[in-house]
A and B are shown apart, each in its own frame.
Chain A
Amino acid sequence: MPSESNAALISRWKDEPAPLLPLLHDFHNRDGYLSEETIRDVAEGLGIPLAELFGTVTFYHHFSREAPGKSAPRVCTGNICCLHGGNELLESLKEDGATPMPCAGRCDDMIPVIIDDKAFVGKTKDSLVHRATPMPAENPGGITECVFSQIREEGRSTLDGYRATGGYAALEKALKGTPGEVIETVSESKLAGRGGAGFPTGFKWKAVADAPGDPKCIVCNADEGEPGCFKDRTIMDHDPFAVIEGMTLAAFATGAPLGFIYLRYEYPETEAILENAIEDARANGLLGENILGSGLTFHLYVRRGAGAYICGEEGSLLNSLEGKHPFPRNKPPFPVTHGFNDKPTAVNNVETLASVPHIVANGAEWYQGLGLGDLAGTKVISLSGDVQRPGNYEVPFGLPLNTLIHEWAGGPPEGRTVQAVTMAGLSGGFVGGDLSEITLDDGCLKSRGSFLGAGGIMVFDDSRNMVEAAHNAMEFFAHESCGKCFPCRIGTQRITERLNGATPNLTHEEWLAEIDDIGSTMKSTSACGLGMAAPHVTESLVRYFPEQVEAHLSKES
Chain B
Amino acid sequence: MISDLDAQTTEKALMLTLDGEKVSFEAGETIYEVAERHRREIPTLCYDERLEAFGACRLCIVEVEGIRNPVASCTTQATEGMVIQTKTEAIEKHRKTLLELVASENRDVDVNQLSGYASQELKILVDRYDARSGRFSGKKSGTSNTKDKNPFILRDYDNCISCYRCVRVCAEREGDYAINVMNRGFDTQIITEFNNDLRDSECTFCGQCVQTCPTGALGDKKALRDSDTEGEIEKTRTICPYCGVGCSVDMLSKGDKIVGIQPAMDGPANEGALCIKGQFAFDFIQNADRLKKPMIRREDGELHECDWDEALNFAAAGFAKVRDKFGRHSVYGIASGRAPHEAAYTMQKYIRATYGTNYIDNCSRA
Using CB atoms and an 8 Å cutoff, list the residues of chain A in contact with chain B: 36, 39, 49-56, 58-59, 308, 310, 325, 330, 332, 478-487, 489-494, 497, 502-503, 505, 510, 514, 517-518, 520-521, 523-527, 532
Contacts and interface: CB of A to CB of B under 8 A. Distances in A.
Contacts of A521: 93-94, 97-98, 101
Interface of B: 45, 53-58, 61, 69-70, 72, 75, 77, 90, 93-94, 97-98, 101-102, 104-105, 135-139, 141, 161-162, 164, 171, 177-188, 191-194, 201-202
A523 B70 CA distance: 10
A486 B182 contact: no
A490 B105 CA distance: 8
Given A36-B194, A330-B53, A527-B58, 8 more contacts: A49-B177, A55-B180, A330-B54, A478-B186, A483-B188, A487-B101, A494-B104, A520-B97
B191 A493 contact: no
8 contacts: A325-B181, A330-B54, A478-B186, A480-B185, A483-B162, A517-B93, A524-B61, A524-B70
Given A54-B194, A518-B101, A493 B138 contact: yes
Contact of A487 (B77, B98, B180, B202): B98
Given A51-B191, A330-B75, A525-B94, A486 B56 contact: yes
Contacts of B72: 330, 527
A46 B84 CA distance: 44
Nearest to B175: A49
A505 to B, nearest CB: 8
B58 A485 contact: yes
Given A489-B185, A490-B101, A494-B101, A525 B171 contact: no
Contact of A59 (B54, B178, B184, B201): B184
Given A49-B177, A493-B139, A527-B56, A483 B98 contact: no
B140 to A, nearest CB: 10
A49 B98 CA distance: 32
Contacts of A482: 184-185
B66 to A, nearest CB: 14
A478 B183 CA distance: 12
B311 to A, nearest CB: 50
B98 A493 contact: no
A325 B56 contact: no
Which 9 interchain pairs have the tightest Cβ spacing? A49-B177, A55-B180, A481-B185, A483-B188, A493-B186, A51-B180, A330-B75, A525-B58, A50-B193
Contact of A49 (B97, B171, B185): B171
Contacts of A478: 185-186
B180 A483 contact: no
Q: Which of B136, B139, B202 has the most CB of A within 10 A?
A: B136
Contact of B139 (A480, A486, A497, A525): A497
Contacts of B58: 485-487, 525-527
A54 B184 contact: no
Nearest to A49: B177
Contacts of B101: 486-487, 490-491, 494, 518, 521
A267 B237 CA distance: 61
A188 B48 CA distance: 46
Nearest to A61: B184
B138 A485 contact: no
Contacts of B137: 503, 505
Contacts of A489: 141, 162, 185-186, 188
A36 B193 CA distance: 9
Contacts of B183: 58-59, 483
B7 to A, nearest CB: 26
B94 A524 contact: yes
A514 to B, nearest CB: 6
A481 B141 CA distance: 14
Contacts of A487: 58, 98, 101
A481 B187 CA distance: 10
A289 B36 CA distance: 53
A514 B135 contact: yes
Contacts of B184: 59, 308, 310, 480-483
A51 B186 contact: no
A505 B138 CA distance: 11
Contact of A55 (B56, B135, B139, B191): B191
B150 to A, nearest CB: 16
A502 B104 CA distance: 14
Nearest to B136: A494
B180 A52 contact: yes
A486 B161 contact: yes
B185 A486 contact: no
Q: Which of A56, A58, A523 has the most CB of B within 10 A?
A: A58
B56 A494 contact: no
Contact of B138 (A36, A325, A494): A494
A241 to B, nearest CB: 35
A119 to B, nearest CB: 24
Nearest to B94: A521
Contacts of A39: 193-194
A490 B186 CA distance: 6
A524 B98 CA distance: 11
A35 B194 CA distance: 10
Contacts of B102: 486, 490
Contacts of B53: 330
A49 B94 CA distance: 36
Contacts of B138: 493-494, 497, 502-503
B186 A518 contact: no
Nearest to B97: A521
A483 B61 contact: no
A330 B75 CA distance: 7
Given A478-B185, A494-B136, A503-B138, A51 B98 contact: no
A483 B104 CA distance: 16
B61 A525 contact: yes
Nearest to A498: B138
A368 B82 CA distance: 37
A486 to B, nearest CB: 5
A518 to B, nearest CB: 7
Contacts of A518: 97, 101, 136
Nearest to B164: A484
